[in-house]
Amino acid sequence: MRNSTVPTILIIDDSPAIIEGLRAILRPQYRVLAARSGEDGIRIAQSRNKPNLILLDVVMPGLDGHAVLAALRENPETSAIPVVLLTALAGAADEERGFEFGAADYISKPIKPAVLVARVRAHLQLAARAVQLAANEERLRAVVEGAIDAILTFDSAGKLQSINAAGVTMFGYRQTEILERPLGSLVPELADTEPGSIIGDCFQSNGPVAGRQRLEVQGRRKNGSLFPLELGLSKARNHDADLFILFARDLTAQRNAEANVERLGRERLTAIGGMAVTLAHEINQPFLASIAYLNTARQLLATPMEQRCASVEQSLDLAASQLLRAGQIIGHLREFASSGEPNKTFQNLHELIREAHNFMLESLVRANVETTLCLDARIDLALADKFQIKQVLTNLIRNASDAMSTSLKRELKITTSLIGDEMFRIDVVDTGSGISPEVEARLFEPFVTSKEYGMGVGLAISRAIVEAHYGEIWVDQSPGGGAIVSFTLPLVVQGAPVNA
């Protein structure tokens, strides 16, 4: 109750005798104010000292009771105060008119004290309950509106009756355009409301509130896109009709996070697998070579000095250099594993090509391969991992040499050129057998080989390295027979910012 626990009653009546009579009946329980005209009554009702109930005479000079009532109802400050009309007029038409203006009740004169007290008490209780209800409703609305999940209610025909702010955002509509939409347009899987469907069964179930169900379905936004949705369903009764309540949570962010975790896990496994294969492949090559050199050294030792075509020391040196390379590979892989990324520094690519060629020269000579370097590109400065790019080059040179092992003409040509001002292109051209059709489509996949002792990972590793440098690698048949393996690397463009 306002201001104090004792409710205030305002009497508006032009007769001082009636005012005094009413005051005498009410004073023991209530605080009583009085006005002798409609104008005074309205003023008091609008003052800070608002009454909890008004007893209003219908017939008064000046503003009559109906006019006062209309004025009180128009003003939001006084519109909720219950007004009981006091009248000597017993006509039903008059009563109806009073109720139309919003009177809470009528009491006929002469007034019976017991009736007055009972009616006043009843209307004060009703008014207090209405205030309580309004407060509850506001609290509930705040809870629904503030919820993170969408809360929607549908009637038994499946039409949307209400939706909170989270729901409006989730489905991408404006509040005004979403109300009355059918459930099926927001959750296609729940379009069916007939008995036997999820919604139909929910409506059919007995009792005012059905047990809640949880479902995972797809929601449809205004733009037509579908998204994963977790739903809770429940049923309530509202004004004798079933109301279907839907609690909806958008699972998009959760699903994306799960997919990311899974993808990262897969990539990690692939990376670990790739690393193991790289290690095995790259170490295998120098080991095989050093075994060959050591075998040569053993044969030389078994051969009389004067008949030896090469020196034992030379063979041992070559074996040692291959073992050194194996050591370097392990060292580099350790570095690679700890940093995860290629260690890119400024490199002159022509220099790397010469170094890789020199490294392979011995085996190229043994395989009777003649090499031509046509390093014609005008610029060759790139950000690159020196070791990795040399690894690509040695893989390609070794493949070319292998492909020419049965060819009469064994010519290897490495050329460089520019694509625009930003990309550097390297072509490794041979006169070998050309790419065999069985492996052509899957050349860059790991373990694809046409060789008896090949592991089939050289090109897969090369592609991973080139792509980590933002380049591309591909294979073509050479017009002169044989193959051309080409790759590109981005150049450091003069004046451009550098992102290592």
Residues making contact with Mg ion (CB under 5 A):
399, 458
Binding window for ligand ATP (CB under 6 A); candidates: 98-106, 164-172, 313-321, 432-440: 432-440
* Residue 439 interacting entry, from Mg ion, ligand ATP, none, C-beta within 5 to 8 Å by type: ligand ATP
At closest approach, how far in Å is the CB of 444 from Mg ion?
A: 11
Residue 50 to residue 246: CA distance in whole angstroms: 42
| Identity of the residue, 44 or 439, whose beta carbon is nearer to ligand ATP in the bound complex | 439
Determine the 3-state secondary structure of 434 from DSSP: coil
Binding window for ligand ATP (CB under 6 A); candidates: 15-23, 150-158, 313-321, 441-449: 441-449
Residue 293 to residue 274: CA distance in whole angstroms: 29
Q: Is 457 in the site for ligand ATP (CB under 6 A)?
A: yes
Binding window for ligand ATP (CB under 6 A); candidates: 168-176, 344-352, 379-387, 453-461: 453-461
Neighbours of 359 (CB within 10 A): 16
At closest approach, how far in Å is the CB of 473 from ligand ATP?
A: 11
* Residue 449 interacting entry, from Mg ion, ligand ATP, none, C-beta within 5 to 8 Å by type: ligand ATP
Residue 167 to residue 248: CA distance in whole angstroms: 8
491: which DSSP letter? B
Residue 152 to residue 247: CA distance in whole angstroms: 7
At closest approach, how far in Å is the CB of 333 from ligand ATP?
A: 16
Neighbours of 476 (CB within 10 A): 13
Query: Dihedral (C-alpha) 191, 195, 200, 202: value to the nearest 10 degrees?
Result: -150
| Identity of the residue, 167 or 434, whose beta carbon is nearer to ligand ATP in the bound complex | 434
* Residue 455 interacting entry, from Mg ion, ligand ATP, none, C-beta within 5 to 8 Å by type: ligand ATP
At closest approach, how far in Å is the CB of 286 from ligand ATP?
A: 12
Instruction: Name the β-bridge partners of 375.
Output: 416
At closest approach, how far in Å is the CB of 278 from ligand ATP?
A: 10
How many H-runs (helices) and E-runs (strands) does the chain carry?
Answer: 15, 17
Question: Of 5, 57, 26, which is closest to residue 119 (Cα–Cα)?
Answer: 26
| Identity of the residue, 164 or 399, whose beta carbon is nearer to Mg ion in the bound complex | 399
At closest approach, how far in Å is the CB of 395 from Mg ion?
A: 6
Binding window for ligand ATP (CB under 6 A); candidates: 61-69, 99-107, 113-121, 430-438: 430-438
**Cβ contact 161:154 at 8 Å:** yes
Binding window for ligand ATP (CB under 6 A); candidates: 36-44, 88-96, 141-149, 456-464: 456-464
* Residue 56 interacting entry, from ligand ATP, Mg ion, none, C-beta within 5 to 8 Å by type: none
* Residue 447 exposed, middle or buried by CB count within 10 Å (0-12, 13-18, 19+): exposed
Question: What DSSP string describes 318-376?
Answer: HHHHHHHHHHHHHHHHHHHHHH-S---EEEEHHHHHHHHHHHHHHHHHHTT-EEEEEE-
The pair of structure tokens assigned to 475 is: 């294979």
318, 412, 435, 466: which one binds ligand ATP (CB under 6 A): 435
Determine the 3-state secondary structure of 453 from DSSP: coil
Q: Is 410 in the site for ligand ATP (CB under 6 A)?
A: no
Q: Where is 428: in which H helix or E strand?
A: strand 423-429
Q: Is 455 in the site for ligand ATP (CB under 6 A)?
A: yes
Residue 461 to residue 444: CA distance in whole angstroms: 8
**Cβ contact 184:282 at 8 Å:** no
At closest approach, how far in Å is the CB of 231 from Mg ion?
A: 56
| Identity of the residue, 72 or 455, whose beta carbon is nearer to ligand ATP in the bound complex | 455
Residue nearest to Mg ion (CB): 458
- Of residues 261-320, which lie at the interface with ligand ATP (CB under 6 A)? 281
* Residue 12 interacting entry, from Mg ion, ligand ATP, none, C-beta within 5 to 8 Å by type: none
Handedness of CA 490, 494, 496, 499 (dihedral sign): positive
**Cβ contact 264:275 at 8 Å:** no
| Amino acid residing at 104 | A
At closest approach, how far in Å is the CB of 350 from ligand ATP?
A: 21
- Of residues 479-498, which lie at the interface with ligand ATP (CB under 6 A)? 483, 485
**Rule CB under 6 A: which residues touch ligand ATP?**
281, 395, 399-400, 403, 430, 432-436, 439, 443, 448-451, 454-460, 483, 485
